[in-house]
Amino acid sequence: MKTYKATHMVKMEDLNHHQSLYAGRGIEWMVEAAFIAAALEHGERHGLLYRNTHQFSFNKSVEPGEIISYCSMLVRTGTTSLTMRVALISEVTGELCAEGYVTFVTVKPHTHEKIEHGIKLDETHDQNELAWRSKAQSFFHNPEKPKF
């Protein structure tokens, strides 16, 4: 699948009391990057509604002045849902600073009635991509949760 990239510079107003990237801002940017990628995959930005953020985890602090990119890839499709894997990468070091998954539901733009999107994942033999797909699928195996 195609990878979509959104880049940010971490500024003073993006920091927490430890002088590193505030998790709330990091998640805000992650959801935004995931939405952009999902909208480009789907082709209809008004036909997407945010559903859930799954497991956003920091591996490394992000310091002020760092230039970071959110790299988003479609890793799971349901009948009416799209799940994006988003990696926060340092542009200077190439390190993975954080990672998470975001799910959107496809809807009719004006009524918000769920609709099937017809998007299928392409075939891959890339071990990383297969692992990300498996991880994304694991968020939907709980029999207590409704399927969409």
Residue 89 domain flag = yes
Tokens standing for residue 20: 């590193």
Number of domains into which the chain is organized: 1
pLDDT (mean) for 77-87: 97
Q: Provide the mean pLDDT of the chain.
A: 94
pLDDT in tens, 46-78: 999 999 999 999 999 999 999 999 999 999 999
Q: By the 8 A CB rule, do 89 and 140 touch?
A: no
CATH number of the domain where residue 11 is located: 3.10.129.10
Q: E-assigned strands of the chain?
A: 3-9, 48-58, 67-77, 81-90, 96-106
Residue 131 domain flag = yes
Residue 144 domain flag = no
Taking the mean position of all CA atoms in its chain, how far away is CA 63? 21
Helix (H, G, I), strand (E, B) or coil at 24: helix
- Whether the per-residue pLDDT at 93 is higher than 60: the answer is yes
pLDDT in tens, 5-58: 999 999 999 999 999 999 999 999 999 999 999 999 999 899 999 999 999 999
Residue of 89, 124, 117 lying closest to 2 (CA atoms): 124
pLDDT (mean) for 79-87: 97
**Domain interval for residue 72:** 3-138
Strand partners, 3: 73
pLDDT at 143: 57
Q: Which H/E stretch holds residue 12?
A: none
